[in-house]
Structures are given as structure tokens and as C-alpha cells.
Structure 1
């Protein structure tokens, strides 16, 4: 551990133990350095790390202050930890909610997409322009499934640098992560099969199950540690489950990240039964700590884990370029893709490959993580300041979503409808389940640069929450 990391850990422990409380001003950079016998630059690095993790916040011309943290969500305790859905029917409702986020007059807290201003990449635009000038008919044939060779090699290198053994031939380039996830699901299931998913779950998983006529076994999921493994084991013993679709890092909608020991147990449970894991890791690069949490794919010993990700959430949302490290299923994924979309946009593949070759991606990612951590901290502080104290808020360590729980008798659907009428969108809990377990919950997108407009929107939500009447 470096000296600045040691200082950051000391300050973090002081905050956790109550030495410094929310709103307290921390000692100045020079004062902290003098007291600890450290250089000014070392203290700056420590404070910047704490800020990126949401522990402190900088105020211009004033100094650093302890960030306000809303009440964390308690351990999820539900009488029903397993929920079987023989028929999933949710597409219409999800479509209506997402359509509302397209209105430029609406504050899009309900959006699933990060703030577009985070991705103004002149180098990427130049790469695409250069590709367009050099594009030939041969390029279209050369980049059919499994996809652009240079891009697959770059992705494989990033896996290896993270300590994950993935070879280029295992990687299939797809039209965004949703195609990689859908193709993976088709590769390992047949209509009528059972699939274990989280509860609440990413609505894209629910849509895919509905389209492929699959049965969902929803497993209780905690906003801090992820899926309940005891409940998953019970489900594996009770139902003939063919696959699991999970987010192990920064889960959407709750933001949960499974501890490494939980990932090890998960992989063991599935390996014993030869059940495939479709791992949705689209937010994996958006971590706030010093190191990226490894996905379950790092523990894959037999090619049974299909690891899906994309550049849409961290580099180029409009390019729609994703991939799946498909293990033993790579040939089958390629065949399925040829029968559906044929291939991913070739110019987009080539442009991203060129961008990765000439560097700058990791610099961009570091800036992106720093901004997302800061923006999440600012929104959390606003929620703590304006919302009723009964509202509970998650504290994810990556991604850009916050999951909020109202009192059980309050309806997030009513809040959604009233907020939309006043120009603010949220993502109500009903989007993420086929039951009514999360009718008092909703998700907020914390990726936007804070402004008076966003603060007014938070104040509006706070007022509407106070006005909610219990649902009879």
C-alpha cells in the first residue's frame, strides 16, 4: 500500500468511527502533510482518492469536507426469497418508461444511459473519420463473426492485464452488450427452460426472457453484496435451472457488488451442476476504488461462463459495440449471430480498434471514474439534505445508479406519474421485477453534471415523496 493510500485509509477510518462527521471541514492539505510528515502531493493524492470514493467533497476556495451519506439500506429480509414467473410480461411498461426519458424537457433521472457529455472523444471521432476514408468492400467480409481481429486482440489483452485468461478466439464482437447477452441466452437455453435471475433484475434480462419464452426464477438480491447464494442454492435444488443471468459488479438497478468469496461460491455452485453463467459486466470499468473488482469469469476453469460487456457505458454509447467472452460457446454464438444480425457495424469496430491502439483509453477511464464518483457523491448529499429521513439510499462503489426505498406503504409508481407530470423521470421498481415486491422502490441516474435544474428536480421529488399517501 502506498503512503497516500495509507493516509486515505486513516481518514476513511476516522470518518467511519465518527471522528469526522458529515459536513465537517477536514484539515488543510498543508496541515495534514505537516502532521503526517508527508509531502503536499501525497496528501493531494490521498484526498483525491477519498473524493473519488465519495467520502469527502471539495468546495472551491474553502477546502475539503466530509460528504453527507444518506441512511444505507438494511439487510434485505423478505418472506419470499424465491419467486417463480412461469410467464414474463413486462415489455410494454418498460417501453413507456424509457420513451418518457427521450423528451429533452424532462430531467432524465430515470434514464439507463450515462450523461452523453462524458463521452466527447475527439480522438475517437478522428479514428472513425480515418476508417471511413480507408474503408473497402474487403473490410466487410474480414470483420464478419467473430469480429474485427485487432479489436478482439485488444480486448483479450485487457483481460490478461486484469489477471483473466481469455484468448481472442473466445471473443465474439456484438452489437452492444444486449446482443451479447441475448445470444448467450439463446446458446444455453431452449423455450420453456428455467433461468435464475436477480430480484430486482436488470429489465433487459426480463425482456429477453419474455422474448425467448423462458421461465424466470428470481432470487433475492441485496444492494450491497448481491444475490443471496443460499436462496440460489435452494433454487438450483428445487428447479431444473439451465442458466443464470447475473451482474456481479455494480448491479443494475441496486448497484451491488458481490464480494470475491461470494463469487467463488457462485462459480462452485454452478460448476458442480454444469449450469452456465451469463455474466453481465457492462459497468465493470466504472469502479471507484483503486482496483477493479474481478468478475466471476476470472474463476472460470471450463469455459462455462459467458462474460458480456461493451464500450457503450464507458467510451462510445452510440457506437453499439460490445462483446462476449463465450468460452466453449464461442462457435455457437458466432453461428447465432450470422443467423440474426450477420455482424456488428464494421466501421465502428475498426474505429474503436484504432482508438485502443493509439492509446488514451485508460486516461479517459480514470477521468470518467473520478467524475462519476464525484457526481454520485453530490446527488447522495442532495438526497440526504432534501429527502425525508425515512428514505433509504444505496451506496454503490461503482457505476452510476442509486437505488432508493420509500416506506413500504408508499407507491413509487404514483411518485413516477406525479414526477413525470412535473418534468422529472425516475425508474420505478416495477421495471425490475415481475412481482410487486419493489413497488415502494425506484432507481435514479447519478451520472449528470450537477446544476440548478437537477437540484430543483431533487427538491421536486422530495416534495412529492412527502405528499405520498399510503396505498390502501
Structure 2
């Protein structure tokens, strides 16, 4: 066994034996060199492995500490397993919450996006500048649906790297993931149809259902394991469901990732009932650990999984470039796009094709994952310090959101309005459900650099919650 792995096992055993308690500082790198007799590089490698596994956390200019023990929420027994909504009316509230996050003076705990400083802005602007100078009138035509050929081929190769066969002709480039998801839903439903969603779910699903005049069957999710497939099967037998909109990796807002076995069973169950799966997979690149999780699309044998993603959460939000690997629905989605937004910006598509043609993207993703994991650990520790007793933080290995449960008497929407008065935004649980089961929950964005202002805002938020209790 490599020496650094021996040290990893030794420190892990010490933490398990409570030699080092959660929150306690570990020996410094140099002290660990003296204690272990190993080189500085070996010790650094061991600490990095432990940090990537979430066992320890680093604090700038301070050192390494034992990470807080993972805490998982239990699904409250009072929650309805299945909730019906024959009409959805949530868009106005979501609009107000998202508008508040645009204020530059606002502490962006409620934001949906990561810190833009984490993105390779200069390289992207250089790529955009290069393609702008060489843009021809024909490029506008060549980048109409299904989109830029080079970009679609690059995406097809990235699927192939995970062992998934997706032809470039199955991929449609869209104006961000939201258009990919909305067009996918529109392609497989008619007004009045039933659609299954998670509860809680990404608010974009609720907005799309509202806009398309669909009906929702919301099935409660376990905070660690996601939707109960037995409940899903019963819903499929009871209602004439046409589509199922799910997030399989780093679900927003809760954070769980479905197991490989569950994804396979999910695809097989929906295929049996001839129900399309619209897979929202925008956080798949923001995983912690060594292996990228597979999408449910990997188990699709009938072309009935519409796999949607984008570059907005991991590379650049402003370009608004996403895609759908649409299987047999690719042609229909192209026609729907031509009738709505016509096409995705040709310069943006060309710039991304240019950038992805280099090796910079994967290097950027490795750095991004490392920074987001560190920031998530720092935010979790701060919330542990400042939230009052009774608040619970759901742990997850990926993404940049924490899902927080407050004592039942604390209404998160009321907390949202009180926090706004202090220039602090949060995303209350009522954004993620058409009912009131998650009125005492909120989503917390951890993707921003943790500084004194963030610490003070977390303390203020904890104080507001304590007042409401």
C-alpha cells in the first residue's frame, strides 16, 4: 500500500476512535511529518485525500480540522407521500425571490448560481473574441437547430467517455437547460396531462408545468435516497402520467444522488409504463470524490430518456447554452425550438466549441470541484456554529446547496422576508413545492467565498431564526 494511503487509514482510524473530535484541529503538515516520519509531499497527499472524502476540512491560514459528522434529515412522517396539483400557481413568488438575489448588496445565500469568479472568464472571452472575428453570415444558418455540429460532436464524445452512446444528431443545443427541459416536457405532453415530479422539486419544473397548463403528481423524496420507486409505480398505475421530471444527481434543493441501481430500476419502470423521463442533470459535473455519477440516460435502451444539461452551473452562466440528448424526440424538439426561440446564439455556440476543443475544461472542472467542496465545508461549519438548536442540515456529497430543516414553528418564507431587511437572501422551501409541507425548510447556497461578511450574515440569520422560535 502506498505510504500516503497508510497515513490516510491511520488518521481515519484515529478519528473513528475519537482521538480527534469533529471540529478539532489536526496536527499541522510539518508536525505530521515529524509524527509519521513521512515526507511533506506524502503528508500533503494524505490530507488532500481525506479532504476530498469530506473527512477533514481546511481553513485558510489556519490548518486542517476534523469535519463535522454527516447529518441527514429524516423524511417527516407527517408529509404526504403523494400530493396532487391540478393547477400550479407559483411563478410570481419565484420571480420575486430571484429578483432579490440580483441586488449586488445582497448576501447571496438564496442564489441559484455559483460565484462567477470561479469561472474561466478570460479564456471564454478570448474564445468569444476569436470566433467573433471569423464569424460569417452562413454561421447563423449553420447553428440553427439542432445546433453547432462541432459542439454536438464534443458533447457526444463526453457521453462516450462514460460509456453512453449518444449520436450527435440526437443532441439539440438550447438556450440553457431550462429551455431544454421545457421543450422536452412540451414534446411529450399536451395541456391537461399529468406529470410526476419530486417533492420538493426544482422550482423550474413547477414553472414549466404552470406555463404548459399541466397537472402535477408530486411524490415525496427521501433526503438520502430520493423518490420511493414503489410510490412511483403506484402513481403510474393510478394516473395517466405522460412524463416524469427528475433530478438524478445532486438534486436541487435536497442534494441526494440516486444510486446506480435505482437509476436503472427507474428507467426500466418508466419504460414499462411508456412514460418519458425528463432528466435534469445540470449538476452532474459538480461531484465530490473520484468518480462522476452516471445519469439515468446510461440505462436508456428505448430512447425515452431526454437528458438535459448545460454549462451554466459549471462553466459560464451568461452564455446560456444548454442541450438535450433527446433520443427519438430530437426532431420534435427542433421543430418546437424553431417555433419559439428559433435558435441558440451562434457566437456563444462557436465560442464554447472553441473552448471545449482545448484541454482547459477538465482542468477547470477539477479546480471548481475542489473549491466548491472546501467552501461547502466552511459554510456547513459556520451554520453549525450559528443556527439554533433544532435546525438540521442535510449533508450531500456534491453540488453547492445545503437543505436546512428548521423547527416546525419557524416559517421559512417569513424568515426570507425578515432576512431581506438585513440584505440577506435565502431560498425558502415554498419555492420547491406547490403545497406547504416544506414551509419550515430553506435552501442555502455555499458556492461563494466565505469571508467576514458571510460569517456575519450567517450569525444574523441564526439570530433571526432564534427570535422566531
Shared fold, TM over 0.5: yes
Residue aligned with 1:318, SS = coil
- Take 1:134 and 1:263, find their aligned partners in 2: how far apart are those partners? 44
Pairing 1:185-200 to 2, within 5 Å after superposition: 185-200=185-200
Residue aligned with 1:58, SS = strand
Which whole-Å deviations, capped at 9, do the CAs of 1:418-462 have from their partners, x for residues lacking one?
111111111100000110100000011110001111111100110
> Are 1:429 and 2:429 matched, yes or no?
yes
Equivalent residue number for residue 411 of structure 1: 411
Equivalent residue number for residue 166 of structure 1: 166
Deviation at 1:380, TM superposition (A): 0.2
Pairing 1:58-207 to 2, within 5 Å after superposition: 58-60=58-60, 62-69=62-69, 71-207=71-207
> Are 1:401 and 2:401 matched, yes or no?
yes
With the length of structure 2 as denominator, give the TM-score of the two structures: 0.95
- Take 1:153 and 1:71, find their aligned partners in 2: how far apart are those partners? 41
Which whole-Å deviations, capped at 9, do the CAs of 1:176-235 have from their partners, x for residues lacking one?
000000010011111111110000010000000000011000011122222222211221
Gap runs ≥5 in structure 2 = none
| Matched length | 469
User: In structure 2, do the counterparts of structure 1 residues 76 and 42 end up closer, same or farther at CA, with 3 Å as the change threshold?
Assistant: farther
Segment of structure 1 superposing worse, 402-411 or 5-14: 5-14
Conserved 8 A contact 2:180-2:308: yes
Pairing 1:2-41 to 2, within 5 Å after superposition: 4=4, 8=8, 11-12=11-12, 15=15, 18-29=18-29, 40-41=40-41
Gap runs ≥5 in structure 1 = none
Equivalent residue number for residue 457 of structure 1: 457
Segment of structure 1 superposing worse, 325-334 or 205-214: 325-334
Which whole-Å deviations, capped at 9, do the CAs of 1:270-300 have from their partners, x for residues lacking one?
1211211000000000001111111111111
Which whole-Å deviations, capped at 9, do the CAs of 1:393-417 have from their partners, x for residues lacking one?
0111111111000011211111111
> Are 1:392 and 2:387 matched, yes or no?
no
- Take 2:298 and 2:8, find their aligned partners in 1: how far apart are those partners? 28
Deviation at 1:373, TM superposition (A): 0.4
User: In structure 2, do the counterparts of structure 1 residues 71 and 41 end up closer, same or farther at CA, with 3 Å as the change threshold?
Assistant: same
Conserved 8 A contact 1:70-1:383: no
Conserved 8 A contact 1:70-1:392: no
Equivalent residue number for residue 265 of structure 1: 265
Deviation at 1:10, TM superposition (A): 5.9
Which whole-Å deviations, capped at 9, do the CAs of 1:139-167 have from their partners, x for residues lacking one?
01111111001000111111111222212
User: In structure 2, do the counterparts of structure 1 residues 173 and 426 end up closer, same or farther at CA, with 3 Å as the change threshold?
Assistant: same
Deviation at 1:29, TM superposition (A): 3.9
- Take 2:208 and 2:333, find their aligned partners in 1: how far apart are those partners? 16
Equivalent residue number for residue 353 of structure 2: 353
Residue aligned with 1:64, SS = strand
Deviation at 1:52, TM superposition (A): 3.4
Equivalent residue number for residue 324 of structure 1: 324
Residue aligned with 2:195, SS = strand
- Take 1:254 and 1:284, find their aligned partners in 2: how far apart are those partners? 15
Deviation at 1:340, TM superposition (A): 1.0
Conserved 8 A contact 1:151-1:353: yes
Conserved 8 A contact 1:70-1:381: no
Deviation at 1:41, TM superposition (A): 2.8
- Take 2:408 and 2:79, find their aligned partners in 1: how far apart are those partners? 14
User: In structure 2, do the counterparts of structure 1 residues 343 and 446 end up closer, same or farther at CA, with 3 Å as the change threshold?
Assistant: same
Equivalent residue number for residue 246 of structure 1: 246
User: In structure 2, do the counterparts of structure 1 residues 70 and 417 end up closer, same or farther at CA, with 3 Å as the change threshold?
Assistant: farther
- Take 2:356 and 2:236, find their aligned partners in 1: how far apart are those partners? 41
Pairing 1:231-242 to 2, within 5 Å after superposition: 231-242=231-242
- Take 2:17 and 2:308, find their aligned partners in 1: how far apart are those partners? 39
Conserved 8 A contact 1:76-1:221: no
Segment of structure 1 superposing worse, 261-270 or 75-84: 75-84
Segment of structure 1 superposing worse, 68-77 or 164-173: 68-77
- Take 1:70 and 1:365, find their aligned partners in 2: how far apart are those partners? 25
Conserved 8 A contact 2:79-2:220: no
Residue aligned with 2:318, SS = helix
- Take 1:86 and 1:16, find their aligned partners in 2: how far apart are those partners? 50
Conserved 8 A contact 2:79-2:437: no
- Take 1:215 and 1:10, find their aligned partners in 2: how far apart are those partners? 54
Conserved 8 A contact 2:185-2:278: yes
Residue aligned with 1:437, SS = coil
Segment of structure 1 superposing worse, 84-93 or 104-113: 104-113
Conserved 8 A contact 2:308-2:324: yes
Equivalent residue number for residue 382 of structure 2: 382
User: In structure 2, do the counterparts of structure 1 residues 353 and 413 end up closer, same or farther at CA, with 3 Å as the change threshold?
Assistant: same
Residue aligned with 1:111, SS = coil
- Take 1:269 and 1:14, find their aligned partners in 2: how far apart are those partners? 44
Residue aligned with 1:317, SS = coil
